[in-house]
Amino acid sequence: MLLVQREAEILAFINKQGVATVRELAELCRVTEVTIRRDLKRLEILNLIERTHGGAISLEKPLEQRRLVEMEEETRSPDALVLTPLQTRSAHTLREKALRNRIPLIAEGVPQEGAIYLGCDNYAGAYEMGIWAGEYFRQHCSGTAQVLDISLNSLPNTRERSAGFIDGMHHVLGDEAHCISIDGQGLFNNVYQIATDALRLHPEVNVIFGINDDSVLGGIQAYLDLGRDPQSLVAVGFGGEGKTVFDALMRGGPLKACVAMFPEVVGRLAVDAAAYLWNGGTIETDILTPTVILTPDNISTYYTPSRHGWDFVPDSLNHRLRYPWLASVRRAHQKHLSFLIIYRTHEWYQNVTKAMQQRSAELGVAFSVVDMNEDIRAEIRELRRLIGKLAASYVNDGEKIILDSGSTTTFMAHFLKGYHNLSVITNSYDVFQQLRTEPGIHLTLTGGDFDPESQSFVGRSAQLLLQEIRADKAFIVAGGLSASFGLSSVNQQEAEVRRVMIRAAREVIVLADHTVLDVDSNVRVTGLDDVDTVITDAGVLSSQSFEFTQRGLKVLVAGRVVPSS
């Protein structure tokens, strides 16, 4: 099917049904979901449909009906969230969403504020591995242990693994262990390149430790590809994620042992914890999962080889899984658990996911795996809606206000419906469309050069009208907002219109979701001295809020979770 034919069929289906999912459209057109997502992006740019999380809505449906579809989507939000260890703005945003919705939040791998930690004691497991490796080196090797620690500096759990291993080695070998650490970034290809450079600089390395399977295997491959003697290397790792590392362990090469974290156990416990919490239970402490040093001699106690790889021996860790609340876990019908992952190809996440799917089916729980990068876009859209709603509450009947262009002010316009004797001046076509039929609002569109990408009017003509007015408040959308650079925009034309808006208003309110805080966009609009109030969301860091307050700005937070007493 040609692209133009496919897009016509997609558009006809969406307009007929009013709403469609990516999966439905992929089946309709007999293409992949990735292809459908690209098609929907093009159709949205052409202003023919509106994308939603997981699908699209027809623009031919009345706004009220479209909002009903959005509300239905919100009701399908998960009842519990398992969040993976990613210390980014995205992770911070998703954690705030779970807290705002007051649903159980389980942090797999790395402790996170407001969540129950599910994972091992990384330092203790690595320390035990360091003891084991030190004793192995003393028994089988001579001279000094020259250790290459392949770490991942961005995460606290992997830093703990490196620290534990090095301390364990020093405990056994003392000054006979010399350690150098590198940041391998956690993925095989990156590890291979970085380890190759490190091994060229340090040909004396005879011990490699990797903080996950990719790290130790990438380090071993770099060592071998440099022509080094495999008999002279002792390699150990932390992870035990699945087939790849177990096969390497059994080949009898440089890999001598690994700390196994048992994704089968972690995945099952994640579902059990959610089910227990749904049924009214409380879990006051971390859920510490077991680790075991696996070697060719003991692996059969925990895993057996099979046609598909390695099967976990179900009862092998029963003596280590003594959590009092486990006995109270019951089925949880009509509940939905989401697992937010970052690396779909990692064996760890594949095996944790498989275990969660199996346990969810046993307990009658609906289970979904969501790519964090896709889900965050929907969440940021929701945060901007909350900011727009709070901004609208900051407007009084009888005022004259300026609304900048952007999705946040478009949401804000929706909440201005029903106001009386309100004058709105805007350069946003979307805001104009929202408010053009409101009897209580006197609406002025600036005119000017139309920018289809931002759906706004810019240029000299847009500025001329704004120069002739005086408004009570201007609501400006931030492309970036920082103490050093001030308010910034993506392009020059956008920045010029915003400067005129700011000069025309007695009070300037900047609308900035947390993803643009401490960010400098391409073009500076003005400094913070010209800003009176910042309306942001619950993803704002306390340090950011404090800095803006110290600069004399009022900070309002939309969607802030108020702790229950």
Interval 191-214: pLDDT, tens: 998 999 999 999 999 999 999 999
pLDDT tens digits along 339-371: 887 766 678 988 999 999 999 999 999 998 876
Q: From the centroid of its chain, how far is CA 168?
A: 34
Least Cα distance to 557 among 546, 131, 119 occurs for: 546
Cβ neighbors of 397 (< 8 A, separation 6 or more) are: 419, 420, 421, 422, 440
Q: Are 536 and 501 in contact (CB under 8 A)?
A: no
552: number of Cβ within 10 Å? 10
Least Cα distance to 539 among 513, 511, 562 occurs for: 513
pLDDT of residue 490: 87
CA distance 332 to 270: 14
CA distance 278 to 299: 36
pLDDT of residue 405: 92
- Mean pLDDT rounded to a whole number for the chain: 88
360: number of Cβ within 10 Å? 24
pTM exceeds 0.75: no
CA distance 83 to 349: 12
256: number of Cβ within 10 Å? 21
pLDDT of residue 67: 44
Residue type for 5, please? Q
Structure token digits, residue 230: 């495999």
End-to-end Cα separation, the chain, in angstroms: 59
Residue type for 82, please? V
Least Cα distance to 13 among 72, 45, 54, 60 occurs for: 60
pLDDT of residue 49: 84
* Under-70 pLDDT residues of the chain: 1-4, 53-54, 60-76, 86-94, 343-345, 371-379, 560-565
Structure token digits, residue 464: 């001329």
Tokens 């690209």 belong to 38
Coil, strand or helix: which one is 554?
strand
pLDDT of residue 89: 58
CA distance 431 to 446: 12
Q: Are 539 and 92 in contact (CB under 8 A)?
A: yes
For 41-63, b/e burial (b = at least 16 CB within 10 A) is eebeeeebbbbbbbbbbbeebee
pLDDT of residue 285: 86
pLDDT of residue 563: 41
